[in-house]
Structure 1
Amino acid sequence: MTTATREEADLRRVSLVVALGAIMTVIDSTIVNVAVHVLGRDLGTSLDTIQWVLTGYLLALSMTIPITGWAIGRFGGRAVWLTALSLFIVGSVLCGAAWSAGSLIVFRVVQGVGGGLLMPAAQTILAQAAGPRRMARAMAVVSIPGMLAPMLGPVLGGLLLDHLSWRWMFLINVPVCAAALIMAVRLLPVTKPETKENAGLDVLGLMLLSPGLAILIWGLSGGGTAGKALGLLLLAAFVGHALRRRERALVDLRLFKGRAYATAIGVIFCYSIAMFGALLLIPLYAQQVRGGGVLEAGLLVAPVGAGAILTMTQAGRISARFGTRGPGITGILLVAGGLLAYTRMGAGTAWLVPLGAAFVMGLGHGLVTPLVMAGAYRDLARDAIPGASVAATILVRLGSALGAGVFAVVLQVLGRREDPATAFAHSFWWALGIVALSLLPALRMP
């Protein structure tokens, strides 16, 4: 077996392990959405209390992300991955055994800590295993779980609630993640720490960034103006601290001096706002304008995933032939075309039209996410990848929360003075405008 063939086989094995471990943690952020009323009823508590089953997981996930870069540099990617996956499995078992709303909320936090470590660790492990030549293929693997979660989570949650107890929404994670854990022990390469043994944790940075990120995401998700203001204040304080610190901060802001990384992350941030906002609007359009049920709403989102999988699986070949900038811009234009079609739809539009528009958006999405992220990593040294993965994950989560929050408000305001079809059409124009905004940094990518 040649060296190149061996490297290809190694990358395939690492990709399989990472995808299997990551997919359940991402699905778990949406699977409980359909069970809030059932959980409140069975555990004998109010909707306001049981909502913390969702919020606690989200906040723990957000607070844990910033420490991942330091942990990988200090202990190695394999050790962090195994620890995170073990935490997630333990949290899932405890959630399945929860006896009250309070215990379930606490155990969801344990799950969230594991999930928060997993995604940036996955991105780092794959980026380091792939190297510059195969970066697009690696980023496609990381992107697939995030694409499947909005579709599979609610559908899987609904099926489990219909046929089994709500406890199986958590217990179903155990066999899948246990298989990933066993495979990881056998197949993931042992990695040496990238930093010196005595490298210290940026404690002040952690105290500013982790709660700042969690509070801001909570504020954007409905926590109110005070939450947004406090979160922004803490993040601004972290930026000031990171720029003054002589040693490497918890998130190394010097990464943004590089043109490739800065422009790619600018694209991803703007694009995440628009795309996650659109994924909020599309199922609501099916229900509020077309009068469909939950099934119709899910089926209308499904073509986005189908189109994305189609192009994501070809990301490596596309980047090898055309680079990352041109196909990335093409993907943005495809998403913009699908959104443009949604701005012109009404209650009487044939179902084939929104299905086709969603599929076109998916084709574009499958190009944008892996290729733009591959462009972000192209000039980075190996020891800079953990910090770059953490910064990218933070901005994607902020963009996603901002998109969901902004479009919920836009739709609510427009819905007060316009009929539903017009309100949705104008909301899709907002999404189209933000997608177009992401073209500005995309045109400056190397």
Structure 2
Amino acid sequence: MSRHAQHPVRGVDEHRRAVTEALWDIRPPAETVPLRAAPGRVLAGELVAPMSLPPFDNSQMDGFAVRAADTGPAADVDVELVVDDPVPAGVVPGPLAGGRAAPVMTGAPLPAGADAVVPVEEARPSGFPPAGSTVRIPAGQPAGRFVRRAGEDVLAGETVLEAGQRLTPARIGLAAALGLDRLSVRARPRAVVYTTGDEVVPPGTARGPAQVYDANAAILAAELAEAGVEVVAARLVPDDAPAFAVRLAEDAELRPDLFVSSGGVSEGAYEVVRQVLEPHGEFVHVAMQPGGPQGLARAGGVPFVCLPGNPVSTLVSFEMFLRPALTEVLGHPAPRPRATAPLAEAVRPLPTRTQVRRAVWDGTTVRLVGGPGSHLLTAAARADALALLPPGGEELPAGTPVELVLLDGGRPGAASAGPGRGRGSGGAD
């Protein structure tokens, strides 16, 4: 009997919901930041317009501001008007008298009395004649033509953005147009990261013959930073449960919003995270490969998300569970784009588990890179997508559509697959 059959197995969607629920009470305080620091942040409260947009009636294009009534009914004739003083953008004009046309630039205020703008290319002669001369324009101009009315976009006092919305470039531009140079946003959540194992050493240090360098701390720190989470400490802990318990108690003094670990969650003899936290949470198998062993707990009232320890398992688990949970709870990071694309080659899925394969998407088809093994990090580095292969007993032929999680902003071909290496069947997940 496989170890996956020894315990109840949780579905992928069910575990994503469980992680979301575990994080639901994370509510970072508000802080005020300048607009240049606001991209991707989340509004702490609703944004109410302090002024109307546009703030005044203005011209939608270069042309002549006129009184529509002066142009008479529509007819196959032109009307002749006297050219008034020009109105550049940024200048407050005087009122427009009857029978006159004021040259007006795009965005310039409309003179009082004017209610229409005639594009300069429709006038005769072409261009802007000097003040005091005459200009002929088509008769029958409708009131409101090419006029941007004050408050047409938003009225002062209206709520334009809701609390919890992520600040995109357009939303930041709206705040700037309203004259705001600072915004109240949610502070970045704070996380402590743990990686485990006597066999793991930090990059840049001496490595023993039976040791490997710690890739997981770097993966988690990068994923959390991209997700808008501040890593306040990253610890490499040995296979010593009492030592880990002491370390965890000390790190609670940092007052993090979240603990995240990789490794130590399965069923071996040195699963220190599980040994310390199992009384305070749950450790399950998820019907997914890689990333089957998962845990959720609380340490000192703080949510603790426990991920498996192989590097690709850590990466895939973050993308499948923790990142979407952060998005739902905090509004940040932006959701990964998803797509459906046909397989470039046949592949056999797992009978009872969703298989998450590293892949390259060219905008048309998806090609798997590397094998399914959770240690094949080079293949993960080449990938720009995760291909979700549903459980099944039959081979999926080339051309079968599969769901993709797009990792590089949804840009096809953002990563190169490189030479086809590392196609082993993989090990523990």
TM-score (norm 2): 0.23
Name whichever structure is richer in helix by fraction. 1
Name whichever structure is richer in strand by fraction. 2
Rg larger in 1 or in 2?
A: 2
* Greater relative contact order (CA < 8 Å, ≥ 6 in sequence): 1
TM-score (norm 1): 0.22
